[in-house]
Amino acid sequence: MKRPLLSLIFAAVALAEPGVIDPAALRADVRRLCDLGVRDTPSLASTRAARLIAEQFAAAGLEPAGDNGYFQDALFTRRDFSQARAEVSVKASGGTVRVAGLAEVGARCTEGLNITDAPAVLTTVEGLARLDAGKTRGRVLIVEGSDYLTTKADQMGRLRELAPRLTVLPICGGGPSQVRAVRQPEFTEGEPHKTPSVIAVRSAEFCGLLNPDGVTISARCAPYEQRTFALRNVLGMLRGSDPTLPALIVSGHYDSRGGPGGNDNASGVAALLEIGRALSTERPKRTILFAAWAGEEWGLLGSQHFAEHLTLPVAVNVNLDTTGHWPAGATGTAAEVTGLEYSTLGEAFTRAAELTGVQIRPAADEYFDKSDNLPFAQRGTPAVTVTAGFRVPDLHTAKDTADRLDYERMARLADLVATAALMIANNPEPPRWREIPATEKFRGAR
């Protein structure tokens, strides 16, 4: 049993010699992606990014691993909800309040509505379950205490059953993020379902008038615009020597939102490309799948789709997200790993950290479900995300540019991940979840 372990470490040490991942190559990769523009979903920039990544996979000698060459495509629909002329008024015994404007009103209307003095049914989130569709169909429903209702599939499903003409969400004390959440575009795979019309109203005066004795609602809003497009993951593989072993996925999302996404996440894709190149001369036991995911910023769309439609069996996922910009005051090269302590994957990272001299620490638990590692964990597959730190300024803005990244440190972080990946791929034992409370829902999910 000693020999394989030794050769494994020798391989990793050899790989970890300074200069394995070239900072200049990372910089060139990030620049090329950022030069395309905002890689929103869908956009010409993201289509071009996918092609660029496929070309880089081919140049590195990785085999196509999608169902359409290097690509895995899925038909999606995006709906953008109009905010034009959106307004709501409530009339009650205490008077009338009219609310309009982007800071106070968030509209999610599936048809143009122009409602005048319609009597409303008043309920709470808990009350939704008890309502009778006979009393709500075609009417106006007011749901109190409904933080982020439109982001919750079960509550939206219930609204679909109750089929009101309009649902009003009074935000009484909540911040503007709840209004923004309501206007978020909606993405669905395949045939989009019927979406209930919802308007959020953030106004203390509006809330003050609500009472069970009877209120009427007037409202106006415009319908959505809809586009159907191909969501495209890019998949390249380094074939393992043992075809019976399920693959290690090394991944990162290539889409961006609100800006060119230099740190979030051209950095992770650049690391992925250069790790692919560095490992392409190796012949690990386990196949390594290099995956660039689409649509992360709108709800992990690409990784979720892949996890539901695997193109090959999978044992483990190491994901890269925002790997190029360190929080102010951070010294040396340190990497944060979400779920570092959740599985035996942590052991490979600890050894790789020793070999490469890169410090690692667990990221806060709240980040475990914020990136593309999640769809794999939810299906019982041990998964982590490696980052330079998510608490950095200007993510999702025009300021997240290629020139702001620290490519020297980024190359060290990529060395760490390449070393850990090779160890994991050379170990015929797949990583396992640790028996701790945080992993309970993932352990049972196979």
Residue ranges in contact with Zn ion by CB under 5 A = 264-265, 321
DSSP 263: I
Residue closer to Zn ion by CB (options 321, 336) is 321
Read off the amino acid at residue 335: A
Distance CA 140, CA 170 (A): 13
Residue closer to Zn ion by CB (options 199, 410) is 410
Read off the amino acid at residue 139: R
Residue closer to Zn ion by CB (options 41, 265) is 265
Residue closer to Zn ion by CB (options 89, 265) is 265
**What's the closest the beta carbon of residue 65 comes to Zn ion, in angstroms?**
22
Distance CA 224, CA 222 (A): 7
Is there a cis peptide before residue 18, judged by omega within 30 degrees of 0? Answer: no
**What's the closest the beta carbon of residue 381 comes to Zn ion, in angstroms?**
20
Is there a cis peptide before residue 233, judged by omega within 30 degrees of 0? Answer: no
Which is nearest to 262 in space by CA: 5, 80, 26, 59?
26
**What's the closest the beta carbon of residue 255 comes to Zn ion, in angstroms?**
8
Distance CA 173, CA 193 (A): 31
Residue closer to Zn ion by CB (options 120, 384) is 384
**What's the closest the beta carbon of residue 123 comes to Zn ion, in angstroms?**
37
**What's the closest the beta carbon of residue 322 comes to Zn ion, in angstroms?**
6
Q: Is the CA virtual torsion 37, 40, 44, 45 positive or negative? A: positive
**What's the closest the beta carbon of residue 299 comes to Zn ion, in angstroms?**
12
Residue closer to Zn ion by CB (options 356, 387) is 387
Which is nearest to 425 in space by CA: 272, 289, 269?
289
- Tell me how far CA of residue 425 lies from CA of 98, 292, 348, 428, 429, in angstroms: 61, 19, 10, 7, 9
What contacts 369, CB < 8 A, 6 or more positions away? none
Helix (H/G/I), strand (E/B), else coil: 22: coil
- Please check whether residue 268 is in contact with residue 372, taking contact to mean a CB–CB distance below 8 angstroms: no
| 128's tokens | 């939704």
**What's the closest the beta carbon of residue 188 comes to Zn ion, in angstroms?**
22
- Tell me how far CA of residue 210 lies from CA of 2, 93, 118, 135, 231, in angstroms: 73, 10, 14, 19, 43
Residue closer to Zn ion by CB (options 367, 433) is 367
Alpha helices in 92-140 (DSSP H): 133-136
**What's the closest the beta carbon of residue 372 comes to Zn ion, in angstroms?**
8
Compute, in degrees rounded to 10, the torsion defined by CA atoms 332, 333, 334, 337: 170
Q: Which secondary-structure segment (H or E) carries 242?
A: none
**What's the closest the beta carbon of residue 292 comes to Zn ion, in angstroms?**
12
Q: Is the CA virtual torsion 358, 362, 367, 369 positive or negative? A: positive
Residue closer to Zn ion by CB (options 146, 265) is 265
Residue closer to Zn ion by CB (options 210, 335) is 335
Residue closer to Zn ion by CB (options 388, 421) is 388
DSSP E strands, 239-347: 247-253, 288-293, 314-320, 334-338
| 111's tokens | 């048809």
**What's the closest the beta carbon of residue 34 comes to Zn ion, in angstroms?**
14
**What's the closest the beta carbon of residue 257 comes to Zn ion, in angstroms?**
9
Residue closer to Zn ion by CB (options 293, 442) is 293
C-alpha distance across the termini of the chain, in Å = 30
**What's the closest the beta carbon of residue 101 comes to Zn ion, in angstroms?**
31
Residue closer to Zn ion by CB (options 321, 400) is 321
Distance CA 318, CA 276 (A): 13
